[in-house]
Amino acid sequence: MKPFKPPQAFATNWLIGLCAAVQFAVLIGGTAFGDRMIFQFGLIPARVVAAAAGHADPWGAGATMFTHMFLHAGWMHLGLNLFFLAWVGRYVEWVAGWKALVLLFLGGGLVGGVAEILVHPASTAPAIGASGAIAAVFGAYAILFAQHRAQSRRVLGIAFSGETLNALWYAATWIVLQLMTGFVFNTPGGGGIAIWTHIGGFLTGLVVARAWGHGPRTL
């Protein structure tokens, strides 16, 4: 029997194409143009905090909460993100629909950006990339397509279903991986990984997917 393949992923393909198109524009524009794009459209926590306090342009800073998702630090960064989006996005889109996927993508990136600002409010380093948005899609995928491997049980007097425990295991694993990655690669004075955008996005996907219901159990 041939493996199941979901229908054409309209929104997933468009999101992939948009991220790739922006990266091509940066490539054509050159290094100086790319740097301007990053500092103008990247998410800089200190700029957002200043805008919230009335000391900077609120519209420009607010826009970066979304524009940062479509900028990437090179082709490797872009390729890794788009690989995961292509992998899980089409399945989530199949269950939830293309509109829900787009809203989840943008919402996960937004919540991830807010998480990064709350943890590093004084940071002047631009955070870029679709990692938080894709983490939300991955979190939804974990809920919709995870198998029932854990048994229902009570923890501290609270009853948890096997599915909930399985989702919490996904969340804990993802968060630990992000913390370990940040510990290894976030070096003083250099570039790093905005791990809190990943964590915020992933938790967003877990919460949102619970409201959608349940997807197929086998692929």
Whether the predicted pLDDT of 197 surpasses 90 = no
Residue identified by tokens 């991986």 is 177
Task: Flag whether 218 is in a domain.
Answer: no
At 190, the pLDDT band (50, 70, 90 cuts) reads very low
Task: Flag whether 128 is in a domain.
Answer: yes
The CA-atom distances, in angstroms, between 114 and each of 17, 157, 203, 211 are 25, 33, 13, 22
Range of the domain at 200: 10-212
| pLDDT tens digits for range 95-128 | 899 999 999 999 999 999 999 999 999 999 999 9
> Is the CB of residue 12 less than 8 Å from the CB of residue 86?
yes
Task: Flag whether 95 is in a domain.
Answer: yes
The confidence score (pLDDT) of residue 103 equals 96
Task: Flag whether 162 is in a domain.
Answer: yes
Total number of domains in the chain: 1
The confidence score (pLDDT) of residue 89 equals 92
Mean pLDDT on 68-91 = 88
CATH number of the domain where residue 136 is located: 1.20.1540.10
